Chain A
């Protein structure tokens, strides 16, 4: 499995407050890596740094060998796609218009989107099972449907790296699992890497290929779910949440507080 995202020695923070301290992380092709951590552990900050929204104070970020630190937004957008917790897009835009935005980074500034791009946008919506909503307004769609539209937009960017910031936050239980399984399948089909900040440890352990535990601004533990021993997982969960019960059943995990 070839390496796509490589993060070495990243330090970042807000003002004088350091949030990330020497973060190192590698995610490979087709791999979905869950980022677990308590509130304030720096999950969102790490995603913001990778997207260039917050400058790193030190360290290196590369995607497919291309340096992403100090890169212009356009270059970042060609390599990495971002899925926010929930979209705050204009309610009056149609799903198709939102998906087309994914082509912005490869379209010259003053040019309109091409017919081919419109075709591709429709195809992306269809792949996400959202084909029928192409001409609906975002305001008419449910949170789950909106998330599918945003995922279609990420797909439209043909990214090498998919960054997801708690994409499950606004979804109900069955949709959460469905959403993460879709992300997992997409990463394999598109041969890209995905890094996904999650709150739900059961979901992370059960659906993602690997787990990175962020604590005190550092990656303190890395699990490869294909080979992870039960003891290993238990130890990681104890380190993260303290005294919790870890249950394994039918290849799925449940963490009980």
Chain B
């Protein structure tokens, strides 16, 4: 086995172990702390308050945080590769803006229970809008895509602003704000199962197209000369990756910065190599979001929105990245 291969195996084992450890800790911590014995008793079919907390609250929450982190990590990695830009994220295609608008529409006009599917549809619709706009511009380049994303984001933001002015200040406004900050505290069984199914679909699609994703990191003409139907393939991969982000938004609201952070963590661990970036981003994403969610629960007083913590970590990291990138270009 060559040295890089051995190193990769070590990194993956360590990251996997860390993910399991974070998941275990996440099961124990909360307003109603559980012990390892409580969990064993729940798994062996016991009864009581602790067992109920485990099955109804703690397990769904921990699973949702872990899978969301993995999904956002993979999604971010795919965006970075596809746009050949280390700062690319689903947000640039207007996905989180669309999800927020969808959720806000459900909250203000209809039934707040429909906010999850509405957020999902909103996120995918924003992507579709960005892609259509890109196509209408006649260019398939990255620049046109980013600009379309900015425009669609602005449109979605305007929609949310309008809805906020119509929303009643008691419940609806708070619900919209809550969505934009992201949280796993109120995850329902149906939201969890939707998240799991959608993520599984996204993961499988991306795993199948794994080879093509590498080719799409090349400029379009080089990729097409190697036999890739770049237009169709780019779209397909983008939709599969966005499916992941939209599914997370639908179940837990907007979680800032994670799609940026997780792949960069993975890149650091891989020492600049691209091989294994997607699966490792899933692991780093899962670990980061589990830790952020644990920290949110540990905060004294009220529980914090999880985006507060991911942003707290994200801003300095991206600033560092910008400074480092600037230095490299010199």
A residues at B contact (CB < 8 Å): 48, 51-53, 72-74, 76-78, 80-82, 84, 87-94, 97, 101-102, 104-105, 107, 109-113, 135, 137, 139, 157
Contact = CB atoms under 8 A, between A and B. Distances in A.
12 contacts: A48-B221, A53-B221, A73-B224, A73-B227, A84-B219, A84-B222, A87-B218, A90-B214, A92-B273, A93-B275, A97-B274, A105-B226
B4 interface: yes
A218 to B, nearest CB: 24
Interface residues of B, number: 30
A103 B228 CA distance: 11
B215 A104 contact: yes
Given A82-B221, A90-B81, 8 more contacts: A73-B227, A73-B229, A76-B227, A77-B226, A77-B227, A92-B267, A97-B214, A109-B212
B327 interface: no
Contacts of B212: 109
A89 B274 CA distance: 11
B2 interface: yes
Contacts of A51: 221, 224-225
Chain A interface helix/strand/loop/mixed: loop
A88 B4 contact: no
Interface string B225-266: 111111000000000000000000000000000000000000
B4 A135 contact: yes
Contact of A72 (B211, B225, B229, B270): B229
Given A77-B227, A135-B2, A93 B222 contact: no
Nearest to A110: B208
Contacts, number: 95
Given A110-B209, A112-B211, A52 B224 contact: yes
A69 to B, nearest CB: 15
Contacts of B267: 92
A113 B272 CA distance: 22
A92 B274 contact: yes
A89 B218 contact: yes
A91 B275 CA distance: 11
Contacts of A74: 227, 229
B226 A93 contact: no
A199 to B, nearest CB: 19
Nearest to A138: B274
Nearest to B208: A110
A37 to B, nearest CB: 20
Given A101-B226, A104-B226, A104-B228, A94 B219 contact: no
A87 B222 contact: yes
Contacts of A89: 217-218, 222
Contacts of A91: 272
Contacts of A104: 211, 215, 226-228
Interface in B274-305: 274-275, 277
Nearest to B228: A73
B114 interface: no
A157 B226 CA distance: 8
6 nearest interchain CB pairs? A105-B227, A77-B227, A92-B274, A82-B225, A74-B227, A110-B208
Contacts of B274: 90, 92-93, 97
B136 interface: no
A53 B224 CA distance: 8
Contacts of B273: 92-94, 137
B214 A92 contact: no
B174 interface: no
B215 A101 contact: yes
Contacts of B4: 135
Contacts of A157: 226
B84 interface: yes
Contacts of A80: 225
A113 B211 CA distance: 8
A84 B221 contact: yes
A225 to B, nearest CB: 28
A7 B188 CA distance: 64
Interface in B173-205: none
Contact of A102 (B2, B224, B226): B226
A131 to B, nearest CB: 14
Nearest to B138: A15
A170 B18 CA distance: 45
A70 to B, nearest CB: 14
A185 B210 CA distance: 35
Nearest to A52: B224
Contacts of B222: 82, 84, 87-89
B211 A76 contact: no
A101 B215 CA distance: 7
B110 to A, nearest CB: 40
A139 B226 CA distance: 21
Q: Which of B81, B217, B222 counts the most A-chain CB atoms under 10 A from its CB?
A: B222
A88 B141 CA distance: 15
Contact of B84 (A81, A90, A94): A90
Contacts of A48: 221
Contacts of B230: 73
B61 to A, nearest CB: 35
Contacts of A105: 226-227
